[in-house]
Amino acid sequence: MKDTLKHRGMRNKLVDIVASKGIVDKLVLQALRNVPRHLFMDSSFEGHAYQDKAFPIAADQTISQPYTVARQTELLEVRPNQKILEIGTGSGYQTAVLLELKAKVYTIERQLELFKKTRLFFDKMGYRPKKMVFGDGYKGLPEEAPFDGIVVTAGAPQIPKALLAQLKVGGKLVIPVGEEEQIMTVVTRKSEKAFEKLEYGAYRFVPLLEDKN
Ligand code: SAH
Nearest CA to ligand 1 atom 21: 137
- Closest ligand 1 atom, residue 111 Cα: 15
The residue among 54, 69, 57 whose CA lies nearest residue 113 is: 57
- The response to whether residue 58 sits with its C-beta less than 6 Å from ligand 1 reads no
pLDDT category at 65 given cuts 50, 70, 90 is very high
Mean pLDDT over 35-46 rounds to: 91
Mutate to test the pocket of ligand 1, among 40, 62, 203 (most ligand atoms within 8 A of CB): 62
Write out the catalytic residue numbers. 64
Mean pLDDT of the chain: 96
pLDDT of 1: 74
Domain 5-203 sits in CATH 3.40.50.150:
yes
pLDDT-derived band of residue 60, with 50, 70 and 90 as boundaries?
confident
Give the mutation target among 166, 206, 212 for probing the ligand 1 site: most ligand atoms within 8 A of CB: 206
pLDDT grade, residue 101 (50/70/90)? very high
Atom of ligand 1 nearest to the CA of 57: 8
Q: Is the CB of 114 under 6 A from ligand 1?
A: yes
Spans of all domains in the chain: 5-203
CA 84 to CA 15: how far, in whole Å? 23
DSSP assignment of 152-190 equals E-SBBSS--HHHHHTEEEEEEEEEEE-SSSEEEEEEEE-
The predicted pLDDT at position 45 comes to 84
Q: Is the CB of 88 under 6 A from ligand 1?
A: yes
Span from the CA of 18 to the centroid of ligand 1 (angstroms) = 22
Q: What digits encode the pLDDT tens for the residues 9-21?
A: 999 999 999 999 9
Residues of the chain with pLDDT > 90, as a percent, come to 94
